[in-house]
Chain A
Amino acid sequence: MKTQVRIARQLYNRIMADMGRPHSFAYERIGFCRARIGNEKSSNPIIFLAEYWSVPDDQYIADEYAGARINSEAIRNALQSSLSDDVGIFHIHMHDFPGIPSFSPMDRREIPRIVQSLTFTNPGVPHGMLVFGRDKAYAEVCMPNDILRPVDRITVVGHPTQVLSALPKFANSDRFSRQTFLGHDAPERIDSLKIGIVGLSGGGSHIAQQASHTGFANFALFDAQAIDCSNLNRLVGGTEDDVLKGRLKISIADRVITSINGLANTEPVPARWQDFPESLRSCDIVFGCLDGFDERRQLEAACRRYLIPLIDVGMDVTEMTGKPPRMAGQVILSLPGYPCFHCIGFLNERNLAAEAARYGDAGINPQVVWPNGVLASTAVGIAVDLVTDWRKSKPGLIYKSYDGNSDNLTDHPRFEYVSDRGCPHYPLDALGDP
């Protein structure tokens, strides 16, 4: 079993700000986070931290031998919270040093007792202890019916999305010498994350290729279809031989990715993602390259629930009477905690009902390679910035509108009205398995 912890960037920032507040006598701050579990039935459960609270100043005990010590009332509050709302609880504190932090000998004596009390109180949910460093973190978790074990991966999700736990040694090379402006640790950051691509045709095939060039090395690829002749006008990497052999689109993407980076790990899923949701949930960023509105709704709901940024790309060509056909498209970053597809009006009752009236058939739409390329390149650029933060841009929604008749990619007119709002549809505490 490999466990991982995910925490939204907004919550992480709040915790870090709280940890930095001075106390009148304690050297460290202590808090608690509620923990919800996701992917519980798989071998890779995910623990989502949500709803942090700081231990009040008057619940600290003066102890010159400890960085911070809390009293029984603070611990009782944590136990009660677990029991009342049937959630796991993580003890949180910080060692304000760079690099991977570790628990001190006193932490090792004291905190596991608190975790044990939580486990006795509510044994059916995960409890644990997490220590943040200045830029990294370390955690141990007690899963139901188990003992305290190290968490394999800790990720903070948002802008930027990054792994806070220890990473395997990364062998940098000249491969990325022309993209050093992304940051000195950008190759390692990019390499550390797993991306999912749902739909490997016009948009998804571009994304697979460019993401591999950029340095992404862990992929889950979802598409049940084999290439056919009509895909050759746009499916990057697809050949006549693939059509003759009836190769799956995921196999072609796999070949493209691994021919660029022989060390890439690919997980080709020859099915709908809905039939292998555990694979999707294990991704850190998902690219949605889907045709239908309801498919997008399902994918966004899953990504929000499992705290995964989703980048949607899509295009369409509409025949116009007496005018040239109208080519349009969009790239949307749906980031947990920020406006969703419903908030921006991209999904609405009108387009969902119209699609349902066609029994979910999105139709056979015109598709060509160049707008797919523009939109996919933009999506990969958004993902790279999401990981490296090289642009230092404002975090949140991205909603780009593409006009293929004038070759313009601009903010959608609705963007300025909704970008600063939160999202009432997917609150950040509604995470994990329902």
Chain B
Amino acid sequence: MQFPIEQIDELRSIYPDVKQMEEGGTPYFLLPNVSLPGGATPATVDLLLRPVHMDGYDSRLFYSQQPTFANRTHQEALNWNAQGVHMLSRNWYAFSWRTKPGLTLAQMVAMHLRAVR
């Protein structure tokens, strides 16, 4: 699947090491060593953006480890419903979070990360 070069450039301007990948016909963007907001432990993880509609989600952001967030109360706990999903030869974790359709790649990442601020 092709994405507009401007969108990829925009994503690269924020995450310079971004790498476009594909598995099973599904596109992914690997964002290595991203610093997480919200007092996260670990503070840095790899992120994997799946920018297409799949499994009922318009896009998903997977984490290489499931972080904990110091600034979130128990009531605000995220629903980590993807646990150790094996993609691109690694296990990934994601919480249930829905984004609107029609976002650029960088906007998708921003909207997913907004959930953990």
Hey, which bits of chain A sit against chain B, CB under 8 A? 272, 274-275, 277, 294, 297-298, 300-302, 304-305, 340, 342, 349, 352-353, 355-357, 359-360, 424-426, 430, 433-434
Which of B54, B55, B96 counts the most A-chain CB atoms under 10 A from its CB? B55
**Per-residue interface assignment for chain B, residues 77 to 96, with 1 indicating a CB less than 8 Å from any chain A CB and 0 otherwise:** 00101101111110100001
Chain B residues within 8 Å of A342, by CB: 24-25
Extra inter-chain contacts (15) besides given A349-B53, A353-B55, CB under 8 Å: A274-B84, A274-B85, A274-B86, A277-B89, A294-B55, A298-B86, A302-B89, A342-B24, A352-B55, A353-B56, A355-B55, A356-B81, A424-B25, A425-B24, A426-B24
A425 touches B84 (CB 8 A): no
B81 touches A359 (CB 8 A): yes
Offer 23 A-B interface pairs, CB within 8 angstroms, sorted by A.
A274-B84, A274-B85, A274-B86, A274-B91, A294-B85, A297-B24, A298-B85, A298-B87, A300-B24, A302-B89, A305-B89, A349-B55, A352-B55, A352-B56, A353-B54, A356-B57, A356-B81, A359-B79, A360-B81, A425-B24, A425-B25, A430-B22, A434-B21
Chain B residues within 8 Å of A355, by CB: 55
Quote the shortest CB–CB distance from B65 to chain A (angstroms).
Answer: 14
Q: Among B53, B81, B86, which residue has its beta carbon within 8 angstroms of that of A301? A: B86
A272 touches B84 (CB 8 A): yes
For residue B84, which residue of chain A has the nearest CB? Answer: A274
Quote the shortest CB–CB distance from A425 to chain B (angstroms).
Answer: 4
Bound together, the chains give a CA A359 to CA B60 distance in angstroms of 14
Which of A355, A430, A434 counts the most B-chain CB atoms under 10 A from its CB? A434
Q: Is B23 an interface residue (CB 8 A)?
A: yes
Quote the shortest CB–CB distance from B105 to chain A (angstroms).
Answer: 19
A-facing residues in B62-112 (Cβ within 8 Å): 79, 81-82, 84-89, 91, 96
Quote the shortest CB–CB distance from B79 to chain A (angstroms).
Answer: 8
**Per-residue interface assignment for chain B, residues 16 to 34, with 1 indicating a CB less than 8 Å from any chain A CB and 0 otherwise:** 0000011111000000000
B86 touches A302 (CB 8 A): yes
Tally B residues with Cβ within 8 Å of A.
Answer: 21
Which of A301, A342, A352, A430 counts the most B-chain CB atoms under 10 A from its CB? A301
* Known pairs A274-B84, A302-B86, A359-B81; A434 contacts B55 (CB<8 A): no
Bound together, the chains give a CA A247 to CA B86 distance in angstroms of 27
Bound together, the chains give a CA A298 to CA B91 distance in angstroms of 10
A277 touches B56 (CB 8 A): no
Quote the shortest CB–CB distance from A178 to chain B (angstroms).
Answer: 40
Bound together, the chains give a CA A359 to CA B57 distance in angstroms of 12
Chain A residues within 8 Å of B88, by CB: 434
B84 touches A356 (CB 8 A): no
Chain B residues within 8 Å of A272, by CB: 84
Chain A residues within 8 Å of B22, by CB: 430
Bound together, the chains give a CA A272 to CA B82 distance in angstroms of 14
* Known pairs A275-B84, A277-B86, A359-B81; A301 contacts B55 (CB<8 A): no
Quote the shortest CB–CB distance from A152 to chain B (angstroms).
Answer: 22
A-facing residues in B30-53 (Cβ within 8 Å): 53
Bound together, the chains give a CA A274 to CA B81 distance in angstroms of 16
Chain A residues within 8 Å of B24, by CB: 297, 300-301, 304, 340, 342, 425-426
Quote the shortest CB–CB distance from B17 to chain A (angstroms).
Answer: 15
Bound together, the chains give a CA A430 to CA B25 distance in angstroms of 11
For residue B22, which residue of chain A has the nearest CB? Answer: A430
For residue B79, which residue of chain A has the nearest CB? Answer: A359
Chain B residues within 8 Å of A302, by CB: 86, 89
Chain B residues within 8 Å of A434, by CB: 21, 23, 88-89
Which of B23, B24, B57, B84 counts the most A-chain CB atoms under 10 A from its CB? B24
Chain B residues within 8 Å of A426, by CB: 24-25
For residue A360, which residue of chain B has the nearest CB? Answer: B81
A301 touches B57 (CB 8 A): no
Quote the shortest CB–CB distance from B52 to chain A (angstroms).
Answer: 10
Quote the shortest CB–CB distance from A291 to chain B (angstroms).
Answer: 16
Bound together, the chains give a CA A352 to CA B53 distance in angstroms of 11
Bound together, the chains give a CA A304 to CA B91 distance in angstroms of 17
For residue A358, which residue of chain B has the nearest CB? Answer: B81
Bound together, the chains give a CA A360 to CA B25 distance in angstroms of 21
Bound together, the chains give a CA A18 to CA B12 distance in angstroms of 43
Bound together, the chains give a CA A106 to CA B21 distance in angstroms of 42
Bound together, the chains give a CA A349 to CA B54 distance in angstroms of 6
Bound together, the chains give a CA A297 to CA B26 distance in angstroms of 12
Bound together, the chains give a CA A274 to CA B88 distance in angstroms of 11
Which of B25, B57, B81 counts the most A-chain CB atoms under 10 A from its CB? B25
Chain B residues within 8 Å of A274, by CB: 84-86, 91
Bound together, the chains give a CA A424 to CA B22 distance in angstroms of 12
Bound together, the chains give a CA A301 to CA B81 distance in angstroms of 20
A275 touches B21 (CB 8 A): no
Q: Among A301, A352, A360, which residue has its beta carbon within 8 angstroms of that of B54? A: A352
Chain B residues within 8 Å of A433, by CB: 89
Quote the shortest CB–CB distance from A276 to chain B (angstroms).
Answer: 11
For residue B21, which residue of chain A has the nearest CB? Answer: A434
